[in-house]
Chain A
Amino acid sequence: MAGRMLAGLLAAAVLWAVPLAAGQGEPIKVGAILSVSGPASFLGAPEKRTAEMLVQKINASGGLLGRKIQLIVKDSEGSPEKATSFAKQLIEEEKVLAIIGPSTSGESLAIKNLCQEGKTILLSCAAAEKIVDPIAPYVFKTPQKDSDAARWIFQTMREMNIRRIGVIVSNDGFGIAGKAQIEKIAPEYGLQIAIAEVYDKGATDLTGVLNKIKGQNVEGLVNWSIVPAQALVAKNMKQIGFQVPLFQSHGYGNIKYVQAGGEAANGTMFPASPILVADQLPAKHPQRELLLSYKKDYEAMYKEEASAFGAYAYDAILILAEAIRKAGTTDREKVRAAIEDLKGFVGTSGIFNYSKTDHSGLDMSAFEMLTVKDGKFVRLKP
């Protein structure tokens, strides 16, 4: 009995020590835990499509280090318990090098420690800063920082002389993380939050709460949300004649939300990655080429417009591929270190500069203030 266990342990140790390097032709296993269906499917579904597309493209052009990438996608439906189960499966059983996703912050936080203990690189596609604060060496994230998005909004508000604001957020991970950052940073810009409310992610009408905010005489409104319900805000504001500037978060990065808002969406301001205005970027913009290529590939393959959400998964795979190339090996520690060493790396969401103390990689420059004009995204200050 003891002997067999010892043998098993030894076998495991040997497997551990020679990670995947055995056969040169063997694929590099990468896991992806995404909310393809369920309440966060508007994030997970484009992320999955993007990831599959990019992996296909990398493999078609010869793969990495002469090996193909094998992407194992798991649909977590936005549940932390399923994400936990899948993470253990991917780490212990498939022994993947890295995990892309999860799409939501709750799931990402649930598997953060598992990835750290299992020495598996996690490239989260969720925005909450708790994912990389405190820093776990193996855990990174690709979306921009909530705090930077808030700063862009507040800066614009200051320029417009807005002092008293109302805040509404959705009751998902994205919304509540944003609310925390807004409440933390607003005082730095001398802003007074007159009222902050949380609405259901499945809300069907928001005129009631907007009416409540209207009664507070605010000069500007921030809606921080990533769910489809956010398209209601602009509509409902116009319907009840609530006329103050509307600021959305970077969760607004999907032209569908503009279309759903119709005429009402015009004039909405929000910080976003330049992917939404890729074709308006000056020729010398560092991201222009990458963005146009992603958009072109995605739209050709899936017949739908690329969103900022799919871009998070795009960056995650791009970063992983670059780190593997730089490390020249699939040794976990070396790849991890290579990610930490990435500087000035051009991604779709911005220019990534990771370091030992920053696993978010992006700063204020990853954003640009956009606005909606005639149903299209345009740069606020071209």
Chain B
Amino acid sequence: MSAEQALQYCLAGVTVGSIYAIVAIGFNIIYNTTGIINFAQGEFVVLGAMTAISLHTVTPLPLAVAGAVAITAAAGGLIGAGLTRAVKRPTVLRLIIVTIGLSIVLRAAVLHIWDEKVRALPFFTGTEVSSVGFFGARITPQALWVLGICAVTVAGLTLFFRHTLTGRAMRACAANRTAAGLCGIPVGRMVTLSFTLSAAIGALAGCAISPVTQTQYDMGAPLAIKGFTVAILGGMGNSLAAVAAGLLLGVLESFSICIFPLAYQHAVSIAVLLAVLVFRPSGLFGSRDVSALKEH
């Protein structure tokens, strides 16, 4: 393998990894506030992209993306939080079941509101054929957009969770719901806020990746699976680590093609997930090393 080819594998991995990472960030927000994994996160991604594509037929791209983020945030916040709050005696098992149900229903809704056809937003800059050279290897500029959005989101979230009252209140809810409630934090409102925020980030992710991946009604679940694989690899609740884990998994998958047939790529990366769950449930970067970077 030439150096140039190896570098190209890396960049291919970065493209895929940035997609995983941006999806993973959405999981972390809800996990940080409610302690649950939202299995419908992938559907927020699809919903956002589909809305943006529809809006883009009448408005310019930035406006369409902004509109889609707002609409998805509102819908996701209302539906997601409404349902999880409606569950009596919310045990982990029950909340898992509700978000799984929500994911299926949202997918069917997207199918029947739009249709089965594949769509895509235009590239934010350049076109389908443009690429950025990098020591002889190339990468689509959209991957840089996705990475940039990841970076901005992680930075923004870190600031939000560390330095704003609302952000701290949200973290308090995850740490101890009852205690947070006793301290006068409106726990219910915080849950709504976290669903809204993660739906917004999901929608933004959907718009950012749509030019690369294209968007179809049923792509939410596979994206979500990769998203929470990455979230767990990074250590649940830690967005910066999730980005690192996303890129790592992307590059690993990319290089795994050299050894395994492509057909087994997903099986291989899920096997990695199982190994991490069993041997290092705190994630690759969990524990002391990166805990300083954690949002809480």
Contact = CB atoms under 8 A, between A and B. Distances in A.
Q: Do A and B touch each other in the complex, judged by CB within 8 A?
A: yes
Contacts of A240: 8, 12, 131, 137-138
Nearest to B140: A239
A207 B139 CA distance: 9
Given A202-B219, A239-B138, A262 B128 contact: yes
A282 to B, nearest CB: 31
Interface in A280-302: none
A209 B257 contact: yes
Interface string A222-262: 00000011011011001111000000000000001000111
A205 B116 contact: no
A211 B9 CA distance: 7
Interface stretch (A21-29, A38-46, A310-318, A363-371): A38-46
A260 B123 CA distance: 11
Given A208-B13, A208-B253, A256-B117, A235 B129 contact: yes
Contacts of A207: 8, 11-12, 15
Nearest to A232: B214
B166 interface: no
A1 to B, nearest CB: 46
Interface stretch (A5-13, A110-118, A153-161, A192-200): A192-200
Interface in A33-52: 37-39, 41-42, 45
B97 to A, nearest CB: 22
Interface string B107-132: 00001000111101000000111110
Contact of A262 (B118, B127, B212): B127
Given A208-B16, A238-B129, A256 B11 contact: no
B116 A262 contact: no
A241 B116 contact: no
A41 B110 CA distance: 13
Contacts of B118: 42, 228, 231, 256, 260
Interface in A338-382: none
Contact of A211 (B8, B127, B265): B8
B137 to A, nearest CB: 7
How extensive is the interface on chain B, given as a class?
A: 35 or more
Contact of A204 (B1, B13, B19, B130): B19
A169 B139 CA distance: 23
B263 interface: yes
A118 B209 CA distance: 49
B214 A228 contact: yes
Interface in B166-201: none
B287 interface: no
B5 interface: yes
A208 B257 contact: yes
Interface string B65-97: 000000000000000000000000000000000
Contact size range, A: 35 or more
A264 interface: yes
A262 B19 CA distance: 21
Nearest to B115: A45
B213 A208 contact: no
Contacts of A45: 115-116
A214 B131 contact: no
A204 B218 CA distance: 12
Contact of A197 (B5, B12, B128, B262): B262
A263 B128 contact: yes
Contacts of A231: 118, 214
Contacts, number: 112
Given A39-B218, A215-B1, A261 B12 contact: no
A213 to B, nearest CB: 10
Contacts of B254: 208
Contacts of B15: 205, 207
Contacts of B138: 239-241
A173 B141 CA distance: 34
B265 A200 contact: yes
Nearest to A196: B261
A171 interface: yes
Contact of B257 (A212, A256, A261): A212
Contacts of A256: 117-118
B216 interface: yes
Contact of A260 (B5, B116, B120, B209): B120
B292 interface: no
Contacts of B140: 235, 239
Contacts of B261: 197-198
Contacts of B258: 212
Nearest to B1: A215
B116, B139, B254 interface centre (most CB from chain A within 10 Å): B116
B263 A211 contact: no
Contacts of B219: 202, 204
B60 interface: no
B214 A260 contact: yes
Interface string B8-27: 11011101100100000000
B213 A204 contact: yes
A205 B213 contact: yes
A274 B154 CA distance: 51
Contacts of A214: 5, 8
Contact of B128 (A171, A198, A200, A235): A235
Nearest to A231: B214
Contacts of B5: 211, 214-215
Nearest to B139: A239
Nearest to B16: A205
17 contacts: A202-B222, A204-B19, A204-B213, A205-B12, A205-B19, A209-B262, A214-B5, A214-B8, A215-B5, A231-B214, A235-B129, A235-B140, A238-B129, A238-B131, A239-B130, A239-B140, A304-B117
Interface of A: 37-39, 41-42, 45, 171, 197-200, 202, 204-205, 207-209, 211-212, 214-215, 228-229, 231-232, 234-235, 238-241, 256, 260-265, 304
Given A205-B12, A215-B2, 14 more contacts: A45-B115, A199-B263, A204-B16, A205-B213, A207-B8, A207-B15, A208-B16, A208-B262, A215-B5, A232-B213, A235-B129, A256-B117, A264-B128, A304-B117
